Structure 1
């Protein structure tokens, strides 16, 4: 499938999938700052935001693009943070010279407005005009010179091969608090996934380290659009799951068909928790085909799995599965697990909302939540990372030994 490039000099059209991605990105950036700046002793927060495929900043219809979204949300968030000073390095890169020149024109008024009206926000803007992989060493130089630990990359590429997997690995391993929003085109794989040509498919996916074993696992599952979505999601997730502790492979729910994933990479469970919650606040903007509880990709696409749209119906399904899944996970640890460890274990394997997870813990007859002081939590919204989830002594059905069978006589 030929890639469609934006023509910024003539006025770029805002497509439906971009509008949906921008809404998620806008809300996430605001929540990111709100969550990261909660410590009462905190006086200063430093971060860098890198837009690797920035575009011109404003579309033909007048809607703003991701660079201006970042700046607008930085300003809005900082105005609600009280006395905290926020320093942000913004690096905008695009290979298109017209896009960068237009972006400079669109950024300048907002940059001046921030300087005049938001004294607690200090922004520095750098522009690059290269292919992203060529620009990445310079981007690293900027980040290392400024000793930035909190970095957020927006890699809204055209297609699926303009950002190397090794670059994603390098970003996530180089910065303690790194996150990436990474666009990956589904439709460019569609023709290959629906053909009985495993060698051609593997060659097409070499840049993702997909093996012949991975290709063989797809055999016989391409029976419907949902089967294809589930198989493709698992294939891409398996290709990227070792790039970061937390990887979300959810696809953009576009009326014209499944065309893109907006993949989120993070090093901390809290980032994935916030991202899951935002997807539920924007029900049906993204989708996942598979289980809705824990182990979201542990299913046979030929026999089970459902389309999960992060809506009320999806949340009800997730809660039913969580009531069963969570005790199993706790039992696998013995009979207790800290809430922090529990969150660290689950947030790469669930699309569920944090409120539904906590509610499933409290409502489960086999579980109890114990505070560090020995008390018991009775409401979902009171559960803290320092608490412990414990199996009750009187259990309704969980065995002492998970794999115990009937002993012969």
Structure 2
């Protein structure tokens, strides 16, 4: 985010003050880059990792925080890759070469000049034009060129796009679809100021370029305006927008979490992680849980947590939580019950075993659930002798407490005797 938030950089000028909410956001960016590299270099068969990191709204790269200078996202990403390279080298006798390219994009020439000067002062000057590319343009205008650069680098297309826009329409959904469609392994972390959109929504916005950018047409807007007359309208519209994002960005996996800026909750925004792989969603989810009390998830515990039910008070059993121990316990309890009902319904329908991956893929986008929470629920159900869990080879997982993605889950007895389901329903 840049000048629209009061962030402005001029070579030789004063540094902008970093907002508290951005501190946590930058920490997420930093941690995720490290987790991403660690995940992709776990196998000892991996000898090199080709990666492109794109910061689409990079700013000048340095701020003031409580009177001290702190790095912005460009320098933090550079440092995160360097740190991960050292960690991987220390853990692997033969090492792994991380071939990372960085693309820093900003439409403000002052910001670009400041960043270039900063990188040179920090000892990265020789890398500019080699593995660090500074692009003075709007991200929308150069997205196609960035995609093509990634395609030319190799066939895996491993890429991270950090699109920390101010507002909700500086990155079009068509561009995100282009990223997801043209690249094999892209991930997008998108800032989306959902409260700003919801609060401003009115008839006069119909047909505007801003709404067209996110594929909202006349009927969509009118439907959401009608929701404003309903109980729990704000969360209902937020859920509707989230479903719209799922349908229109071309990603398979999503992680939606709220950030509360300083000054009140009427300016909440989403940090959305979009990807095409379940493991990517899992790693981002684990980072959110590790940073408890920083982000919030609005919804009920467990699966299917974002759905709006007109016959219930929208506030009933809402988590509104900061990913702490209490929230995790509630999620684990809820998943035991929900998983029992899910498997019971599948058995009645004559469906076969369900893999952990299929379970995760079909429900994780609407929940704060990660694999360890699912594993804890499966252990409880197995110990109650309600389910059987088997490896792809057919061997039963009798004692393990961490299950593989392709392990198969099935009822161990007739549905009518499903004890956890009966106990929870009673």
Q: Which residue of 1 aligns with 2:346?
A: 332
For residues 236-255 of structure 1, the C-alpha deviation after alignment (integer angstroms, 9 at most, x for no partner) is: 21221022101222211345
Higher mean C-alpha displacement, 176-185 vs 207-216? 207-216
- Residue 55 (structure 2) aligned to one of 39, 51, 74: 51
Q: Which residue of 1 aligns with 2:31?
A: 27
Q: Which residue of 2 aligns with 1:262?
A: 271
For residues 205-263 of structure 1, the C-alpha deviation after alignment (integer angstroms, 9 at most, x for no partner) is: 34322352565356456788xx4552243132122102210122221134532422111
Deviation at 1:65, TM superposition (A): 0.7
The answer (yes or no) to whether the contact 1:229–1:289 under 8 Å persists in 2 is: no
Q: Which residue of 2 aligns with 1:152?
A: 160
- Residue 46 (structure 2) aligned to one of 35, 42, 45: 42
Tell me: CA distance 1:113–1:72, structure 2 relative to 1, closer, same or farther (3 Å).
Answer: farther
Deviation at 1:320, TM superposition (A): 1.9
Classify the secondary structure of the residue corresponding to 1:377.
coil
Tell me: CA distance 1:99–1:220, structure 2 relative to 1, closer, same or farther (3 Å).
Answer: closer
Q: Which residue of 2 aligns with 1:96?
A: 108
Q: Which residue of 1 aligns with 2:236?
A: 231
Q: Which residue of 2 aligns with 1:403?
A: none
Matches within 5 A, 1:364-379: 364=381, 365=384, 366-378=386-398
Deviation at 1:283, TM superposition (A): 1.1
Distance 1:205 1:308 in 2: 30
Q: Which residue of 1 aligns with 2:142?
A: 135
For residues 93-129 of structure 1, the C-alpha deviation after alignment (integer angstroms, 9 at most, x for no partner) is: 10111111111222235564999xxxxxxx7111100
The answer (yes or no) to whether the contact 2:258–2:295 under 8 Å persists in 1 is: yes
For residues 256-283 of structure 1, the C-alpha deviation after alignment (integer angstroms, 9 at most, x for no partner) is: 3242211110100101111111101001
Classify the secondary structure of the residue corresponding to 1:69.
helix
Deviation at 1:396, TM superposition (A): 6.2
Matches within 5 A, 1:1-400: 3-9=4-10, 10-60=14-64, 61-81=68-88, 82=92, 83-108=95-120, 110=122, 112=124, 124-147=131-154, 149-192=157-200, 197=202, 200=205, 205-211=211-217, 212=219, 215-216=222-223, 219=226, 227=232, 230-242=235-247, 243=249, 244-256=251-263, 257=265, 258-300=267-309, 302-303=313-314, 304-306=316-318, 307-330=320-343, 331-332=345-346, 334-364=351-381, 365=384, 366-378=386-398, 381-395=401-415
Unaligned 5+ segments in structure 1 are 116-122, 400-409
Q: Which residue of 2 aligns with 1:404?
A: none
Tell me: CA distance 1:398–1:3, structure 2 relative to 1, closer, same or farther (3 Å).
Answer: farther
Distance 1:75 1:109 in 2: 18
Deviation at 1:198, TM superposition (A): 5.0
Distance 2:417 2:238 in 1: 34
Higher mean C-alpha displacement, 183-192 vs 371-380? 371-380
How big is the alpha-carbon RMSD for the aligned residues of Structure 1 and Structure 2?
2.8
Deviation at 1:71, TM superposition (A): 0.8
Deviation at 1:187, TM superposition (A): 3.7
Classify the secondary structure of the residue corresponding to 1:249.
strand
The answer (yes or no) to whether the contact 1:52–1:93 under 8 Å persists in 2 is: yes
Tell me: CA distance 1:199–1:75, structure 2 relative to 1, closer, same or farther (3 Å).
Answer: same
Deviation at 1:53, TM superposition (A): 0.5
The answer (yes or no) to whether the contact 1:335–1:391 under 8 Å persists in 2 is: no
The answer (yes or no) to whether the contact 1:88–1:124 under 8 Å persists in 2 is: yes
How many aligned positions are there? 386
Q: Which residue of 1 aligns with 2:424?
A: none
Distance 1:336 1:114 in 2: 56
The answer (yes or no) to whether the contact 2:198–2:238 under 8 Å persists in 1 is: no
The answer (yes or no) to whether the contact 1:178–1:267 under 8 Å persists in 2 is: yes
TM-score using structure 2 length: 0.82
Tell me: CA distance 1:357–1:214, structure 2 relative to 1, closer, same or farther (3 Å).
Answer: farther
The answer (yes or no) to whether the contact 1:198–1:216 under 8 Å persists in 2 is: no
Distance 1:337 1:8 in 2: 53
The answer (yes or no) to whether the contact 1:283–1:311 under 8 Å persists in 2 is: yes
The answer (yes or no) to whether the contact 1:50–1:152 under 8 Å persists in 2 is: yes
